Amino acid sequence: MKFRNIYVLFLILLCGGSVKARPVADSVQVYFRHGYSTLDLSLHDNRRTLDELVERLQALSSDTTKKLLSVSIEGNASPDGLHGANLRLSRKRAQNVLTYIRTRTAIPDSLITVRADGVDWRTLAAMVETAPFVPAREEVLDILRNIPLWIYDGQGRIVDGRKKRLMDLKGGAAYRFLKERFFPQLRNSRIGVVCTVDSLPQEKLPPVVPAVSPAVAFARKSVPASGPLPGSVPAASGPEAEEREPLQRLALKTNLLYDAILMPSLEVEYRIDDRWSVNLEGEVAWWSENSKHKYYQIATISPEARYWFGTKKPWHGHYIGAFAGGSWYDLENGGRGYQGEAVMAGLSYGYMFPIGRRLSLEAGIGIGYLHTEYEEYLPVDGHYVYQQTSRTNYFGPVKLKFALVWRLWNVNKKGGAR
The pLDDT of residue 267 is: 95
Backbone phi, psi, residue 402, to 5°: -145, 100
Q: Which residue blocks in 221-328 are alpha helix, DSSP H?
A: 256-260
Q: What pairing do the DSSP bridges indicate for beta strands 112-119 and 66-77?
A: parallel
Report the alpha-carbon distance of residue 248 to residue 1 in Å, rounded: 19
From the list 288, 295, 241, the residue with the least C-alpha distance to 87 is 241
Phi, psi at residue 230, to the nearest 5°?
-55, 135
Distance CA 36, CA 30 (A): 13
Residue 26: its pLDDT value, please?
Answer: 63
The neighbouring-strand residues paired with 366 are: 348, 399
Mapped onto helix, strand or coil, the DSSP state of residue 98 is: helix
For the beta sheet containing 66-77, the strands, ordered from the edge strand earlier in sequence to the opposite edge, are 112-119, 66-77, 189-197
Burial of 75 (0-12, 13-18, 19+ CB in 10 A): buried
Q: Which of 310, 334, 307 is nearest to 321 (CA)?
A: 307
142 backbone dihedrals φ, ψ, rounded to 5°: -60, -40
Burial class (CB in 10 A: 0-12, 13-18, 19+), 33: buried
Q: How far apart are CA 404 and CA 389, in angstroms?
A: 38
Whole-angstrom distance between the N-terminal and C-terminal Cα of the chain? Answer: 24
Contact 130, 215 (CB under 8 A): yes
Model pLDDT, residue 343:
96
0.85 exceeded by the pTM?
Answer: no
Q: 3-state class of 343 per DSSP? A: strand
Q: In sequence order, which residues have a C-beta less than 8 Å from that of residue 408 and are 6 or more positions away? A: 248, 250, 251, 252, 358
Looking at residue 69, what is its pLDDT?
81
Spatial distance between the Cα atoms of 180 and 276, rounded to a whole number of angstroms = 27
Residue type, 15: C
> Is residue 112 within 8 Å of residue 170, measured between CB atoms?
no
Give the pLDDT means over successive 10-residue stretches in the chain (418 positions). 43 40 61 80 81 86 80 85 86 88 87 87 92 91 92 88 90 89 84 65 40 36 39 41 60 94 93 89 88 86 93 85 94 88 96 89 96 90 84 94 89 49
Say how far apart CA 350 and CA 402 lie, in whole Å. Answer: 10
- Decide if 92 contacts 101 (C-beta within 8 A): no
User: What's the pLDDT score for residue 22?
Assistant: 52
